[in-house]
Structure 1
Amino acid sequence: MSKVQEHFKIRMTENGFLHHEKVLTVDTMNPNVKRVEYAVRGPIVQRAVQIEKELKEGVEKPFKEVIKANIGDCHAMGQKPITFFRQVLALCSYPELLEDNKFPEDVKNRARCILQACGGGSIGAYSASQGIEFIRHDVAHYIERRDGGIPCNPDNIYLTTGASDGIVTMLKLLVSGEGTSRTGVMISIPQYPLYSAALAELAAVQINYYLDEEKCWSLDVSELRRALQAARQHCKPRVLCIINPGNPTGQVQSRQCIEDVIQFAAEENLFLMADEVYQDNVYAEGCQFHSFKKVLFEMGPKYSDRVELASFHSTSKCYMGECGFRGGYMEVVNLDPDVKVQLTKLVSVRLCPPVSGQALLDLVVKPPQKDEPSYGSFIKERSHTLEMLAEKAKMTQEILNEVPGITCNPVQGAMYCFPRIQLPPKAIAEAKEKGQVPDMFYCMKLLEEKGICLVPGSGFGQRDGTFHFRITILPPTEKLKIVLAKIKEFHQSFTEQYS
């Protein structure tokens, strides 16, 4: 057989058609997806995974392990699960354990209650698309307790696959229009990359408003107004997103700030999205978490009857840290009834959130009570986790501020800090020669030389001419001390090398 015949045979299909180019290529794919970036799992993390493989293969490195301080994955960083949560979930997953006398009676009762609400008595069955009804009622009661008795309607609760699922779902409803009428969404800079990624995928217009680093990453309404007025030249601003406590910046908003934001949203007719997944993570003296829902209703009917709000919470953060179960909820306030029908339709397309995540959420919003056997251990474990995070927040800020060329604001809440780094002009020039953003260049060198995986500030957004990195405070105390010591050592040698 000649080469021409061989080539022709290879290119023939069983049906006798010639193969053509692939239907899906980088040129033919959805262009919005190509614009999506997610720095938290970006090039630095991909390189970290490669280095881990190299270490296993025996490749010599100046370190023995890669320490990933790039992501808020609590249990991966050594945080212990809450015993009560895992016991109930174990019984839900394997109901035969209900006959085992090792488990406290309140654990068994909770498992039975959850299983009774599941199809066929199994968490392997689909649930209602909006979430299991009795769990939505428990979430509503939790919100009422948290907010001092302000009513919460279970019909306004949607259980979600983590908070991110709810956030993206709401953005899908909100984004519309073409050209200068395209929906504009206001997001804080620095921001959590979920927002910029979702807006890129939906082809929405991202409107940046800057947090004030000099004032502990505070939010100023005058900056919101500046960003809004500038954006009106090229889009229709309709949405204002707030993260409180902040990610990556770790600030906790004052009640006055929240009032100002709500008043601004009312004046400018903006839909408010409040990302409140770190609401139990508040460490700094004088700081307190205030939910947007609570403040909105305490401001009276002038605001509570008309400002549209969606707020989000998750089982992945706080003292729980159960990222893998993908549990969460959103509450909608003042949503148009016809839009609510569309929202319910939209969530039904994905059938339901993970039922194991829904079960976990129920335990979070309705933990053991004082008269129940599991109460003592639950309170002890919860308190210990939050106390350790508070200690590490303080330690991280103090150690980083000892390093010449690094400035770190107080970590008031959440699980991260976002220190500013001074980079020598020579380093900035070399980074540009290599086609890298300077803080990406810095973080990549830190990874290669010290085995520490951080996320460059450019992945979250920052003011021009400033450079940062995000570090999580989650590693165990002794490991976190090693991470901070290596950052200190690296920054000093990096500065000397390029000065």
Structure 2
Amino acid sequence: APVVPPTETMLASRLRLGKNVLRTSTTSLRAMSTPRLTESTLNKKVVEAEYAVRGAIVLRGMQHEEALARGEKRPFTKMVFCNVGNPQQLQQKPITYFRQLLALMDYPEMIDNPPSMFPSDVVARAKKIMARAPGGTGAYSESKGLKVLREDVAAFIETRDGVKADPERIFLTDGASQGVNVALNCLIRDRNDSIMIPIPQYPLYTATIALLGGHYSPYYLNEENGWSMDIAELERSAAQAKKDGKCLRALAVINPGNPTGQCLSPENMREVVKFCEREGMVLLADEVYQQNVYGEGNTSMGLYDKSLRASHGFTSFRQVVAEMGSSCQLMSFHSVSKGVVGECGRRGGYLELENICDSVQDQILKLFSVGLCSNISGQVMVGAMVAPPKPGDPSWDLFKSEFDSLYDSLKRRSQKLSKALNEMPNVSCTSIDGALYAFPTVHLPPKAVAEAQAKNMVPDAFFCLELLDATGICVVPGSGFKQKEGTFHFRTTFLPPEAEFDDVISKMGAFTKEFMAKYA
């Protein structure tokens, strides 16, 4: 068809249309303009996420610490941060072998001409890692982590559990937290996906679930029975989730417990595995405190020596799943931050997959690839944790002396704290069988509860704030970990130096006595 030249009327019409389009576009752009970043325009999931371990009470403690540094007066002369399992902040000495290995890795020029203070086995270990770590600690590794170190982790698991482990199913992580985050990212698709978590729980779980837009289904640990896991309670929680239209994706278990300090029995663990099988859920085994088991007759070296294995007292879910021949899908987490190692700032850990199909593992690798790799110093620390010196090595005697000394001191402090808490008025505490914490119940008088409510505070947070302002001892209210309605708790570490521990306990006890008398 011939092209008809536009008439003046048509041109005018098009010009008017163009002006309208331009006007509409301008209006649309104004409506769509980016708002300034304020709390009201933040991602609501970020606002909803909470992490009590570094919450308002801790910030108040840091303000006290800064005031003391400026020479301002307080009712105390120093802050004692018992809010987080951060051993070296509270003067725990690092283990020599670990630091020597890291020093050589970070300054490889010393490897070929090491100072006399470096034993030959440390030098040999550094050479072995460097030979398979192009660029050393300053270069990226493959996204799973250096294979030479993942092989060490696999060998450790075999010694610990008596079952083979595949280095290709092990990912080295920036602390256990990264592994948990990756696992939850894979599991949570939307608000209808639910993760079963223990109450009390470590706030990492609720915070991450909130950030991912998922849902959590609480199951309550039985405080009257030493914070044990009750299968009937798991079934109750699962039934409620299904009634609410939720899709159960995973069960998180923290063993030894944080904040509760309990250790699960192998019988209980088998029941948990069977429960996950029935429900088709992934089992998330948070086992970062596996070195911290303080039962009668337990020894510190049982995870490393097959001949001492029965004396340690820790059983992994990896071992239970293998012994049962179970098809339960398992993700296990470990870390250098806890145990006797206490190297929190290194941010080292690992994630191991069991009964997870290859296609899912490929997607998990993709997530790790987005972050390129975990930090190499943390990876080296993981390797050192799982493969320390052996009897007969030049470093062995010093390593064993330091390791045993730290373990024995932690065990003594756990027992001393449990006894002291139970002697305080209106306070009761279960036996601390593992981990680095006590989670005592505080029976607050009605007047204290009323005073807290008048201040618009949760009652146990009020107690913890008063303790902080009076003594400089910083603990975390139980409400930050979730707890049964009508109960009040707080979590405290037993990490202050042993030489100062009696003084910390004495101040806590004196404050509690005065507080209870004031509000009686």
TM tier relative to shorter chain: over 0.9
- The alignment status of 1:295 with 2:320, answered yes or no, reads yes
Partner of 2:472: 451
1:212 equivalent in structure 2: 222
Deviation at 1:233, TM superposition (A): 2.2
Aligned twin of 1:134: 148
Structure 1 residue 138 displacement after superposition: 1.2
Partner of 1:43: 56
Q: Summarize deviations over 1:38-73 as a string: whole Å, max 9, x none.
A: 000000100000011111222221111111111100
Tell me which residue corresponds to 2:405.
384
Tell me the distance in 1 between the aligned counterparts of 2:391 and 2:417.
Answer: 35
- 2:66 is aligned, of 45, 53, 56, to 53
1:259 Cα offset (Å): 0.4
Q: Which moved more, 1:237-246 or 1:330-339?
A: 330-339
Structure 1 match to 2:271: 260
The within-5 A match list for 1:69-148 is 69-98=82-111, 99=113, 100-120=115-135, 122-148=136-162
Find the aligned partners of 2:332 and 2:290 in 1 and give their Cα distance.
12
Measured in 2, the distance between the counterparts of 1:209 and 1:268 equals 15
Aligned match of 1:223: 233
Q: In 2, Cα distance between the equivalents of 1:117 and 1:198?
A: 35
| Fraction of identical pairs, as percent | 45
The alignment partner of 2:137 has SS state of: coil
Task: Return the letter of the residue paired with 1:427.
Answer: A
Deviation at 1:450, TM superposition (A): 1.1
TM-score by length of 2: 0.89
Stretch deviating more after TM superposition (360-369 or 280-289): 280-289
Aligned residue type for 2:50: E
Tell me how far apart the structure 1 counterparts of residues 397 and 337 of structure 2 sit (CA, whole Å).
Answer: 23
Displacement of 1:96 in angstroms is: 2.4
Alignment partners' CA distance in 1, 2:65 and 2:118: 39
C-alpha offsets along residues 278-299 of structure 1, whole Å, 9 cap, x if unaligned?
A: 0010002277211001011111
**Contact kept in structure 1, 2:143 and 2:372, CA below 8 Å:** yes
For 2:105 and 2:72, how far apart are their aligned partners in 1? 44
Give the letter aligned to residue 297 of structure 1.
A
Q: What residue number does 1:368 align with?
A: 389
Match of 1:343 in 2: 364
Q: Deviations over 1:181-226 (max 9, x none)?
A: x110000000001011101111111111000000110010000000
Q: For structure 1, list consecutive stretches of 5 or more residues without a partner in the other structure.
A: 1-16
CA distance in 1, matches of 2:215, 2:341: 34
How far apart are the structure 2 equivalents of 1:68 and 1:217?
A: 25
| Offset at residue 28 of structure 1 (A) | 2.0
Residues of 1 paired with 2:35 and 2:512: CA distance? Answer: 47
Report SS of the residue matched to 1:185.
strand
What are the superposed Cα offsets for residues 102-136 of structure 1, whole Å, 9 maximum, x if unpaired?
3111111111112222223x210000001001111
Match of residue 281 from structure 1: 292
Residue identity opposite 2:120 in structure 1? E
Written as runs of structure 1 = structure 2, the 5 A alignment for 1:171-250 is: 171-178=184-191, 182-234=192-244, 235-250=246-261
Farther-moved stretch of structure 1 (278-287 vs 30-39)? 278-287
Q: Which residue of the partner structure matches residue 398 of structure 1?
A: 419
Question: How far, CA to CA, are the matches of 2:408 and 2:71 in structure 1?
Answer: 39
Give, as a single letter, the amino acid of the residue that structure 2 aligns with 1:199: I
Instruction: Provide runs of 4+ in structure 1 moved above 3 Å.
Output: 20-23
Contact 2:336/2:381 (8 A) holds in 1: yes
**Which range moves more in the overlay, 326-335 or 94-103?**
94-103
SS at the partner of 2:353?
A: strand
Query: 2:198 aligns to what SS in structure 1?
Result: strand
Worse-superposed segment, 192-201 or 111-120: 111-120
Q: 2:62 corresponds to which letter in structure 1?
A: V
Between the aligned partners of 1:41 and 1:417, the Cα distance in structure 2 is: 18
1:474 aligns with 495
Q: Which amino acid aligns with 2:122?
A: V
CA distance in 1, matches of 2:243, 2:43: 27
Distance across 2 between alignment mates of 1:320 and 1:406 = 31
Greater Cα offset, 20-29 or 201-210: 20-29
Q: Within 2, Cα distance between the matches of 1:450 and 1:161?
A: 34
SS in 2 for 1:232: helix
Secondary structure at 2:138 match in 1: coil
State the AA in 2 paired with 1:126.
Y
Distance 1:271 1:72, change over 3 A: same
Higher alpha-carbon Rg: 2
How far the C-alpha of 1:364 sits from its partner, in A, is: 1.1
CA distance in 1, matches of 2:216, 2:236: 14
CA–CA separation in structure 2 for the residues paired with 1:21 and 1:429: 45
1:369-414 Cα offsets, whole Å, 9 max, x none, are 2221001111111111100000000000011111121101110000
Please, what TM-score do these two structures have when normalized by structure 1?
Answer: 0.93
* Matched residue type, 1:224: L
Kindly state the Cα deviation for residue 366 of structure 1 after the two structures are TM-superposed.
1.1
C-alpha distance in 2 between matches for 1:318 and 1:224:
28
Letter in 2 for 1:431: A
**Aligned-partner SS, 2:168:** helix
Residue 151 (structure 1) shift:
1.3
C-alpha separation in 1, matches of 2:433 and 2:117: 40
| Residue aligning to 1:8 | none
Shift of 1:22: 4.6
Q: Which amino acid aligns with 2:132?
A: A
2:283 pairs with 1:272: yes
Q: 2:75 aligns with which of 42, 57, 62?
A: 62
1:321-332 maps to which residues of 2 (within 5 A)? 321-332=342-353
* 2:425–2:516 Cα contact (<8 Å) kept: no
- Is the partner of 1:237 in helix, strand or coil? strand
Alignment correspondent of 2:22: none
Distance 1:478 1:462 in 2: 33
Task: Please give the secondary structure, in 2, of the residue aligned with 1:119.
Answer: coil
How many Å separate the matches in 2 of 1:232 and 1:400? 40
Q: CA RMSD in A?
A: 1.3
